[in-house]
A and B are shown apart, each in its own frame.
Chain A
């Protein structure tokens, strides 16, 4: 084999492991689920493949409430994450000095504990007779019979808390990359600090904002842990429905169909979002 031929093969060899991973752990399961979603029957009489597309329309009409709720909760949580994460990332990138690594470590530190344990900890924090709820009752924010746990607030707070690092880290990376001299140049050219921020810093941070919001929004839409542990059945999200369809009701076709519907919705959201904010930014975000 000539050197040239071998050179030409290098990219494929490098792509190999990643590609294999995608095929085995993504493409094959996705196709299997697609196959399952078009079946009919139940576990006792067995499932037959029947091109049964009605599962999709039924699932969509039966569970639109949970679908919209998931999108709403995820959107609110993503915005909250951004509002909390941006100042934090900004501070770490520009003001933290020698504490920068320490602060980054603190952001990642919660990952050292299991996601579930952290969420369950919120049950204690928000408990009806807990410190937080009592104080909020004292100051009258929460009514006498009001509660925090098992409410919408608790679920959204849980999602926000759990996904915050996914917002902070990409934001930090893109902020840290900014050449500070550009901001200085802007102020030299008589831009006020605010204008320098909105015209220079913010646009340059855009890849981080996009990456962060996608990394937060996408898993948040499919999350079911927060709704299950911190909410009630009136806060259940589409992830809860899929989980119970797979494991409790054992209605595999409609569980698979719902997974695909969710995937399609998320994909659409991402496309619209990146169309609005520009593809250039998405590419940079990925890099």
Chain B
């Protein structure tokens, strides 16, 4: 979901008229470069004003109040295939207001490049809500690019699952609310490799060139740290991360890794070009629906847990509208509808019960799926990423790019 390559972008383009994401996944894929790339390039040209803030906390939360106003339009930027489009229509029916939902986030960095300049100048970016992955959300909050949430307008915030309430980058969720969460683990074809339980199996020379890793540095390095160094990525220092990069480099030089991918690994897995992949849980649920031989596992050494977080950007046209929308997404009924479509881990309490009671057999079965509702044993093995300073992040990106070849 988070780091889209040209291939997955095209896949999206090719199948834009699909009805359900589940049906859509796992077919032949393709690519089209986001026009957004151009925007990022253009915004790269101008020199930026110096601006740096200390790494924790961001703006101290003053009392915020977004008084009720008439609802007209709420602009929400999100990742592709990340909502059941019916929910948008429901919103219209419920509030008689338009949820202008655009799928223009293909990549955290790319999106950041696109909106960086107005944010830096303290301007509005014309959106009321954006959903960005933890580390990028942390950066926005740290730099003061977000508008705090007026909790009076979001009573359903109480439905947020407990383990996501206190994040290091946003204690008590004053600026952000998770949209969906997901796990990073191993996707594999059990018909070819049998059962996979350990990261070590990815390194089996028998499958040289038949394995892909993710191009998202935090995911791939997190798994390497857990498995090869016995290090918890949550409290990894930059030195640990660089050591993990070296470890990864060794693995890559042996020719074991076929590719570093965004979510186009799903195409390779479905076609049989690849038999094991470092993968994201939601994708695998959908792939499995098409090909029952495909499995997803959180390796015994551990996997990663991440969220994409809704935030109100500074000077949003309608912060109240954004809060109404967030509140609505946190209604378990609505959240259940979204969860049934996207198959990622929902951050909203009560969804499992609603799905289990669904009349549709397939939908009810989702309630039992541990990839959507990880059990406690699985959760124990999941880890978040460490927070890095800007310099450290750049160091990591450069070292990682040195391994992935670009």
Contact surface of A with B, Cβ cutoff 8 Å: 29, 32-33, 35-36, 39, 41-49, 62, 66, 114, 116-117, 119-120, 123-124, 127-129, 145, 147, 149-150, 225, 228-229, 232-236, 240-241, 243-252, 255
* Chain B window 207-244, contacts with chain A (Cβ cutoff 8 Å), 1 for yes, 0 for no: 01110000000000000000000000000000000000
Tell whether, in the assembled complex, residue B6 and residue A247 are in contact, meaning their CB atoms are under 8 Å apart. no
Q: Which residues of the partner chain A approach B208 to less than 8 Å between Cβ atoms? A: 145
Given A117-B10, A117-B30, A120-B30, A232:B258 Cβ within 8 A: yes
Instruction: Closest A residue to B29 by CB, please name it.
Output: A120
Distance between A192 CB and nearest chain B CB, rounded to angstroms: 51
Tell whether, in the assembled complex, residue A44 and residue B406 are in contact, meaning their CB atoms are under 8 Å apart. no
Given contacts A120-B28, A145-B208, 13 further A-B contacts (CB under 8 A): A43-B116, A44-B143, A45-B51, A45-B390, A117-B14, A229-B7, A236-B405, A241-B406, A245-B406, A246-B40, A247-B40, A249-B109, A255-B44
Tell whether, in the assembled complex, residue A44 and residue B139 are in contact, meaning their CB atoms are under 8 Å apart. yes
Q: Which residues of the partner chain A approach B52 to less than 8 Å between Cβ atoms? A: 44-45
Q: Which residues of the partner chain B approach A241 to less than 8 Å between Cβ atoms? A: 401, 405-406
Determine which of A44, A66, A116, A246 lies in contact with B30 in the assembled complex, contact meaning CB atoms within 8 Å. Answer: A116
Indicate whether B194 reaches chain A with its CB closer than 8 angstroms.
no
Tell whether, in the assembled complex, residue B271 and residue A129 are in contact, meaning their CB atoms are under 8 Å apart. yes
Tell whether, in the assembled complex, residue A116 and residue B10 are in contact, meaning their CB atoms are under 8 Å apart. yes
Determine which of B10, B49, B406 lies in contact with A244 in the assembled complex, contact meaning CB atoms within 8 Å. Answer: B406
Indicate whether B33 reaches chain A with its CB closer than 8 angstroms.
yes
Q: Which residues of the partner chain B approach A44 to less than 8 Å between Cβ atoms? A: 51-52, 139, 143, 390
How many A-B pairs have beta carbons closer than 8 Å: the answer is 145
Given A127-B273, A246-B40, A249-B397, A42:B390 Cβ within 8 A: yes
* Chain B window 239-274, contacts with chain A (Cβ cutoff 8 Å), 1 for yes, 0 for no: 000000000000010010111100000010001110
Instruction: Compute how far the CA of A114 lies from the CA of B402 in the bound complex, rounded to whole angstroms.
Output: 30
Determine which of A29, A62, A225, A233 lies in contact with B260 in the assembled complex, contact meaning CB atoms within 8 Å. Answer: A233
Distance between B106 CB and nearest chain A CB, rounded to angstroms: 10
Tell whether, in the assembled complex, residue A49 and residue B139 are in contact, meaning their CB atoms are under 8 Å apart. no
Tell whether, in the assembled complex, residue A229 and residue B6 are in contact, meaning their CB atoms are under 8 Å apart. yes
Tell whether, in the assembled complex, residue A47 and residue B273 are in contact, meaning their CB atoms are under 8 Å apart. no
Instruction: Compute how far the CA of A147 lies from the CA of B398 in the bound complex, rounded to whole angstroms.
Output: 30
Tell whether, in the assembled complex, residue B6 and residue A228 are in contact, meaning their CB atoms are under 8 Å apart. yes
Instruction: Compute how far the CA of A252 lies from the CA of B29 in the bound complex, rounded to whole angstroms.
Output: 30
Q: Which residues of the partner chain B approach A149 to less than 8 Å between Cβ atoms? A: 273
Instruction: Closest B residue to A117 by CB, please name it.
Output: B30
Tell whether, in the assembled complex, residue A150 and residue B406 are in contact, meaning their CB atoms are under 8 Å apart. no
Given A44-B390, A236-B405, A244-B406, A36:B44 Cβ within 8 A: yes
7 residue pairs A–B, Cβ–Cβ below 8 Å:
A46-B49, A128-B271, A233-B260, A244-B406, A247-B37, A247-B109, A248-B406
Distance between A1 CB and nearest chain B CB, rounded to angstroms: 40
Tell whether, in the assembled complex, residue A116 and residue B33 are in contact, meaning their CB atoms are under 8 Å apart. yes
Q: Which residues of the partner chain A approach B398 to less than 8 Å between Cβ atoms? A: 249, 251
Tell whether, in the assembled complex, residue A248 and residue B397 are in contact, meaning their CB atoms are under 8 Å apart. yes
Tell whether, in the assembled complex, residue A120 and residue B10 are in contact, meaning their CB atoms are under 8 Å apart. yes
Instruction: Compute how far the CA of A39 lies from the CA of B33 in the bound complex, rounded to whole angstroms.
Output: 27
Given A42-B390, A128-B273, A249-B401, A243:B406 Cβ within 8 A: yes
Tell whether, in the assembled complex, residue A127 and residue B30 are in contact, meaning their CB atoms are under 8 Å apart. no
Indicate whether B318 reaches chain A with its CB closer than 8 angstroms.
no
Tell whether, in the assembled complex, residue B113 and residue A247 are in contact, meaning their CB atoms are under 8 Å apart. yes
4 nearest CB pairs, A to B: A233-B405, A120-B30, A236-B405, A244-B406
Instruction: Compute how far the CA of A234 lies from the CA of B31 in the bound complex, rounded to whole angstroms.
Output: 21
Instruction: Compute how far the CA of A145 lies from the CA of B205 in the bound complex, rounded to whole angstroms.
Output: 12
Given A228-B6, A241-B406, A47:B33 Cβ within 8 A: no
Indicate whether B48 reaches chain A with its CB closer than 8 angstroms.
yes
Given A45-B50, A129-B273, A252-B44, A116:B394 Cβ within 8 A: no
Given A46-B51, A128-B272, A116:B6 Cβ within 8 A: yes
Indicate whether B365 reaches chain A with its CB closer than 8 angstroms.
no
